[in-house]
Chains A and B, each alone.
Chain A
Amino acid sequence: MTAIDAGPAVAGRARTRKGRQLAPLWMLLPAAAVLVPLFVYPIYQLGLLSVLDFRQAQVSGGQPTRFVGLDNYAELMSAPKFWSVLWATVLFAAGCVVVTLAVGAALAVLLTKVSRWAGYALSLAAMAAWAAPAMTGSTVWMFLFDTNLGLVNRVLGWEGHNWTYQRFSAFALVGAVVVWHSFPFVMVTLYAGIKALPEQVLEAAQLDGAGPWRSFWSVTVPMLRPVIAIVVIQSIIWDFKIFTQIYVMTNGGGIAGQNLTLNVYAYQQAFASSEYGLGSAIGVVMMLILLAVTLVYLRMLRRSGEPL
């Protein structure tokens, strides 16, 4: 009886094992079917376009597409405009990241010290700012800082003052909106991290005579390192890619392009000047910078020993 039964049972088990091996494949298939043509292929295309002479004439088919090697990159590197935009992007992103982290961290600590109702009020306000779309955040702040009808100018008595006229104040205004949108993520994440810390450790530090300042820097911060790493990397990635706020608030990159960042610059080169090859080269530069940031992040993840 056992001998007769063994056949189908073994065959059945073999079939399930095979099914078990194939199952993840078809479950991943839909994702692959979307990501390969709409993610992987465009990345390849971006690289390809960046080494082509590709302008309006090539788009319409009037002229053949020509391989130009690294000419687009050489043209970029030799243009002072590119370097000034690159610097502006890095400084703008760095400024936004630093202020976002400082504000978010300070408020996360503040949240641990307030009464329930005050914490609730602050969280609610932060959630509203967090949820507000980039577009509407931009329009509201533009209205607040409007030259003639803006509340800020009215209160300050600066009627007629245009905040986007100067390079620095335009960047500062956009930066303020970016920080307003992104500090809640930092605040909420860090607050959750602080709350998850074992209380005994902080009590022990207190018993050992550490003041609040000392125990914050010597106990809380080191223990929060993984969470801090996440908010830092996320902020860098987000702030480096800001598009909507800059585009809308400075009307496409500011007067004479003084408020361009790499993102907006690539867009303008491609779609306003029909320099698709050049725009793609800028895109590749951006991609490489963010890839470097991502690799640093992955190394930190690996080092912290989290299993994938």
Chain B
Amino acid sequence: MSRRLFPNAVALIVALVVAFPIYWMVLSALKPAGEIQSASPVPWTLHPTLSSFQRVLQVNDFGRYFINSLIVALAVVALSGLVAFLAAVALTRFRFRFRTTLLVLFLIAQMVPIEALTIPLFFLVRDLGALNTLFSLILVHFAFTLPLAVWMLRGFVAAIPDEIEEAAQLDGASRWQILWRILFPLVAPGLAATSVFSFITAWNDFLFARTFIISATENQTLPMALLVFFKPDENDWGGIMAASVLMTVPVLIFFLLVQRRLVSGLAGAVKD
């Protein structure tokens, strides 16, 4: 017991330091304006209020941006999960020429600095007439999340024993039925893991929202909308923190729910 006293103390202190910014964010979102301005800030509040949240949601129409972000992220999760599933099955269940080449290409694609592609993608989206639409964001994140999703799902598909498929085939199941009725439910845990990554990529994106959504502010997503509270004279920190809480909570919930699968998915993805 005493041997563990010191490591335990260190771990606890580190945990407190690491969690502190999150705590401060939630606390500041709940503090009344006077306490945020106060010269001697205290790490608690005796007068919690939802007024910052009210301001953010009612005056700044943050609910709309929240929905926009949600639409983009969920569309990306659904599309990229589906397409990645098909590609992962093709790459694990079949032997064909260029299979290894394709796999390596998927790996390389993950390393491509997508930020560098902002310029050509801007012109592409402009030529499609899709600037200022949520569709443009769905489209680019669909493409960006696909390589990692394929790479991660591959491990989950490979873990399903061939015999299950063979048995189904003997029972007269068509290829289509095997794919959707048997393989798809079995890789569902893997899809949960990949969907976190797709969700977070789309949810967190600041760069493409900034580049593509130029004038149609009603189609803005959360990361850009947050910047509204930064003013040249004085920032509305209560509002910024309330908006940040609203933006963080969905990811946090999602993350904690699939945390275990996430780690195993990552381990699978990086292992082979």
Contact = CB atoms under 8 A, between A and B. Distances in A.
A244 interface: yes
Contact of B146 (A31, A135, A234, A298): A31
A140 B83 CA distance: 36
Contacts, number: 271
Contacts of A37: 124
A224 interface: no
A298 B107 contact: yes
A150 to B, nearest CB: 9
Nearest to B99: A24
Contacts of A21: 96
Nearest to A30: B83
A298 B115 CA distance: 22
Interface of A: 19-21, 23-25, 27-28, 30-31, 34-35, 37-39, 41-43, 45-46, 49, 107, 110-111, 113-115, 118-119, 121-122, 124-137, 139-141, 143-144, 146, 149, 151, 154, 180, 185, 188-189, 192, 226-227, 230, 234, 237, 240-241, 243-244, 247-248, 263, 266-267, 270-271, 276, 279-280, 282-284, 286-287, 290-291, 293-294, 297-298, 306-308
Interface of B: 4, 7-8, 10-12, 14-16, 18-19, 21-22, 24-25, 28, 36-37, 39-41, 82-84, 86-87, 89-91, 93-94, 96, 99-100, 102-104, 107-109, 111-124, 139-140, 142-144, 146-147, 150, 175, 200, 203-204, 206-207, 211, 222-223, 226-227, 235, 237, 240-241, 244-245, 247-248, 251-252, 254-256, 259, 263, 266-267, 270-272
17 contacts: A24-B94, A31-B83, A49-B120, A110-B14, A118-B12, A126-B15, A128-B18, A128-B22, A135-B206, A140-B241, A149-B237, A240-B113, A263-B113, A263-B115, A283-B116, A298-B107, A306-B271
